[in-house]
Amino acid sequence: MKRYYVMGLFSNFEEAFATISEIRSHAIQGVSVDDVTLKSPIEHPEIEEILGDRGSPVPKFSLFGAIFGICFGFLFLASAQATFLVQPAGGKAVIPLPSNIVLTYEMLILFGVISTLIGFMISARLMTKRHPLYSEKVSVDQIGVMLELDEKNVDSIKDLFKKHKVLEIREEVSQ
Amino acid sequence: MQTKDINENIAWAKINEDVLRSMENPRKGYWIAVAACIAMVMCAVLAEIYQYQVGMGPSNLNWPHMWDLYIATFVFWIGMSHSGTLLSAILHIIQADWRKPIYRFAEAMTTFSLMTAGLFPIIHLGRVWNMYWVLPYVSDRGIWPNFRSPLIWDAFAITTYLTSSALFLFIGMIPDLAICRDNARGWRQKLYTVLSLGWQGDDRQWRNFRKIYLLMACFLIPLAVSVHSIVSADFAMSIMPGWHITSFPPYFVAGALYSGCAAIITLFIILRYFFRFDEYMTIPILEKTCKLTFAIAMVWSYLTLIEFASVWYGHDMVAKESLLSRFTGPYAPFFWLMLFCGIVAPFALAIEKFRRHLPTMFVVSLVLNLGMWLERWMIVTPTLATSYHPFAFDTMWPSMVQWAIVFGSFGWFGLLFLIFVKVFPSVSMYEVKEMVFHRRHYHSADLATKFHRRASDREEDGEPSTEGAKS
């Protein structure tokens, strides 16, 4: 089944948000706000009020990385220090907690940071091919509203875009 | 008189143009600066080759002066690295948006300072070929590094900090790298295509970007504090007079922030002048940076005096004698100069007329950093000169080899920075757009009048535009 991608480029957030608000209020049958992707040169602080809270799993990656860092850091140090038969501790604790806490803390942060980055790359779907409708104008000063649609809704969406003073409409068909 | 952090009527397209222009064909002055930096680096390389060939003798490093300029300069560069990432992270969390035009080069400064600092322990080793001994691996003899040693903590902390701050810098640049990708040709386009990781600016990416940036900031603040605390532990955990002081970790962290802020002022003025970033690196933003530096300078001054007081009232005669020798001994001129540069000179930052005068601020920022470098030298050397054993009292002056390597480290830092500003955007384009956008839409005219203008201002600027992205 053919899927249509339509993107309207707007000169400001107000018009783009007004367009999405109409889609949200089911102005066009069969098109919902879940089909909308907003492309912008900056992150708009009120975007979630328009698109709904879509959430981000990145903090879970951070938490996992931090916990892994604590466990790995401490166990790594402890296992190294446990070779006490080779490396006499001279009466001191074989696994000293105060000094190990410092290095465990560093490992917490290192693995937390790396895991956060991995989480970001997965969640933001980075390192994937750019969409054919990507416009360089979005990185300058225009706001793009892109929808994935059935053929029957394409004209309605274009009309909605025009109603909100769209600057340019681009479309792409995928098989 | 310019009173706004930024002109909210700048068009977004102009921001892209101005920043991208700064990355285009370097002018003659740029190449002269590059040549000067390379010459400085060559001085250090030649000195290091000489030291490598004949041993540590030519550096004058001999008992009791096992540590000298190399370690002092190492601490200086570690300190310099603190303001970029730490201030960027703190100001991001408290939503101080005036950081936006200046944080990029400050974060780059952090990364390059760490890359410079990391060279010094290796050079200081003498036997540079054994530097890998610091890594935690099982050697042929089954012996691990001593994890109780602050020197090993240093290796872990600096590696973690370098990795994290480089990632913080990189992540913050991704949207800008996409802008560069869309505007570049040739090898630059290939480079930016790879580095921008397919950024398209969609809502999913921005949503996750906001999260990661906040999380990274949260990770980096305690990390930055821990790194310099650990560096201070190199000294404070020894029993040497003048080093074994409880207040050393906050003292080092304050000193690090201080020197980093001073370096931000220096680089701010240089970039503003050479890249004509007058509209982004504005005088009000410089003023805010200066005020912050002044506040940190006062914290550092307080901690310096506390250090003296705790030694004085501590009744540890050796430590007291070591302190007195700093005021009156052979290193006294440098010590007094350090006190002048670190405690007296920052009062220039408290005077509005000076804060708004770029040449004065440029000189003051250099003086402050001279003071901070002297501080590290005055921590390391006088203690070793007058330690516990009077028979070992010895005054040592660094040799030309040490001076050449220290001199070259500034060239190395400068070279990395010069390459950075021509390959990567030194002003964050998307964040400046955000700043402009917020000022346009969320600052009422009344508040703008109240907070962006002074009573002495006579003329009213035009009202902020309420138009959208384009003006």
Chain A nearest-CA distance from B213, in A, is 10
3-state DSSP helix/strand/coil % of chain B, to nearest 5: 75, 0, 25
3-state secondary structure of B398: coil
- Lateral strand order in the sheet of A36-39: A36-39, A143-149, A3-10, A168-174
* Residue B219 vs residues A105, B159, B216, B236: alpha-carbon distances, Å: 11, 15, 5, 25
Q: What homologous superfamily does CATH list for B54-402?
A: Formate dehydrogenase/DMSO reductase domain (1.20.1630.10)
Q: Do B148 and A99 touch (CB under 8 A)?
A: yes
For testing the chain B interface, which of A139, A145, A147, A148 should be mutated: the one with the most B CBs within 10 Å? A139
Is residue B364 scored above 50 in pLDDT? yes
Distance of alpha carbon B109 from alpha carbon B94, whole angstroms:
22
pLDDT of residue A89: 67
Distance of alpha carbon B280 from alpha carbon B100, whole angstroms:
9
Structure token pair of residue A19: 């367009």
Nearest CB to B219: which of A112, A130, A131?
A112
More confident residue, B390 or B232: B232
Mean pLDDT confidence for A111-115: 96
Q: Do B470 and A124 touch (CB under 8 A)?
A: no
Q: How many residues does chain B have?
A: 471
pLDDT of residue B466: 41
- Residue B348 DSSP class: G
With contacts defined as CB-CB under 8 Å, which chain B residues touch A125? 204-205
CATH 3.30.70.260 positions along chain A are: 3-55+131-174
| Confidence at B465, pLDDT banded by 50, 70, 90 | very low
Mean pLDDT of the residues in chain B: 88
Residue of B257, B233, B258, B256 lying closest to B243 (CA atoms): B233
**CATH placement of domain A3-55+131-174:** 3.30.70.260
pLDDT in tens, B15-25: 999 999 999 88
Q: What are phi and psi of A4, to 5 degrees?
A: -105, 135
pLDDT of residue B66: 85
Mean pLDDT confidence for B23-30: 89
Mean pLDDT confidence for B274-298: 93
Mean pLDDT confidence for B70-78: 93
| Confidence at B181, pLDDT banded by 50, 70, 90 | very high
For residue A148, the surrounding DSSP H or E stretch is: strand A143-149
Q: Using a CB cutoff of 8 Å and minimum separation of 24, what contacts does B327-332 make? A: B329/B382, B329/B385, B329/B386, B329/B395, B330/B385, B330/B395, B331/B378, B331/B381, B331/B382, B331/B385, B331/B395
Is residue B38 scored above 90 in pLDDT? yes
A5 strand-pairing partners: A148, A172
CA atoms within a 13 Å half-sphere pointing along the CA-CB vector of B249: 11
Is residue B460 scored above 80 in pLDDT? no
pLDDT in tens, B367-408: 999 999 999 999 999 998 888 888 888 888 899 999 999 999
pLDDT of residue B97: 85
A144 strand-pairing partners: A9, A39
Radius of gyration of chain A (CA): 26
Tell me which chain A residue has its CA closest to the CA of residue B157: A106
pLDDT of residue B471: 40
pLDDT of residue B470: 47
Mean pLDDT confidence for B138-152: 80
| pTM for the whole structure | 0.90
pLDDT of residue B387: 82
Mean pLDDT confidence for B84-90: 85
For residue A9, the surrounding DSSP H or E stretch is: strand A3-10
Q: Do B203 and A134 touch (CB under 8 A)?
A: no
C-alpha angle B286-B292-B293 in degrees, rounded to nearest 5: 85
Chain B from 60 to 119: CB within 8 A of any A CB: none
Mean pLDDT confidence for B206-226: 93
pLDDT of residue B294: 96
Chain B nearest-CA distance from A33, in A, is 13
Instruction: Please state whether the peptide bond connecting residue B333 to the residue before it is cis, i.e. omega within 30 degrees of 0.
Output: no
Chain B nearest-CA distance from A110, in A, is 5
Torsion, CA A37, CA A42, CA A47, CA A53, rounded to 10? 70
pLDDT in tens, B108-137: 999 999 999 999 988 988 888 888 887 777
